[in-house]
């Protein structure tokens, strides 16, 4: 089992460019999440998908869109990247039972 896999691991974008961060899990999770991590601010939820076919906004959704393509895959799209979106992005998955979230290794995104 690979667990939760994110691609790419590193990315540099110019302001205004678009890109999609990919996330796939092979743990049969119903729920999937996208977080961003900035110094001193912990993990902030961008979007989540409680189950296949549903997506909801989290704490900081502006400037992002998501797609729950199927049960395994949950992608995060930046339509027009801004320097404020420079961050480390984590995807996570969890079952709907009372269990933990499993995290990917992160994508370090720099917008210049």
Partner 1 sequence: GENVEQHPSTLSVQEGDSAVIKCTYSDSASNYFPWYKQELGKGPQLIIDIRSNVGEKKDQRIAVTLNKTAKHFSLHITETQPEDSAVYFCAARITNTGNQFYFGTGTSLTVIP
Residues across the chain: 112
Q: What is the largest CA-CA distance in the chain?
A: 41
In the set 20, 96, 110, 112, which binds partner 1 (CB under 8 A)? Answer: 96
Q: Is 79 in the site for partner 1 (CB under 8 A)?
A: no
Which of 17, 22, 43, 86: binder of partner 1 (CB under 8 A)?
43
36-46: buried (b, 16+ CB within 10 Å) or exposed (e) per residue? beeeeeebebb
Q: Does 85 bind partner 1 (CB under 8 A)?
A: no
Near partner 1 by CB under 8 A: residue from 50, 67, 73, 75:
50
**Is 42 one of the binding residues for partner 1 (CB under 8 A)?**
yes
Q: According to the binding rule CB under 8 A, does residue 45 interact with partner 1?
A: yes
- Cα separation, 29 vs 31, in Å, equals 6
């Amino acid at each position: 089992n690979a667990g939760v896999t994110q691609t790419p691991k590193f990315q540099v974008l110019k302001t205004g460019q678009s890109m999609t961060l990919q996330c796939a899990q092979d743990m049969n999770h119903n729920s999937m999440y996208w977080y961003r991590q900035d110094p001193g601010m912990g993990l902030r939820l961008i979007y989540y998908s409680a189950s296949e076919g549903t997506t909801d906004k989290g704490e900081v959704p502006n400037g992002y869109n998501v797609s729950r393509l199927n049960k395994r895959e949950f992608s995060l799209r930046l339509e027009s990247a801004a320097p404020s979106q420079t961050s480390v992005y984590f995807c996570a998955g969890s079952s709907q039972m009372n269990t933990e979230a499993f995290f990917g290794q992160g994508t370090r995104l720099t917008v210049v």
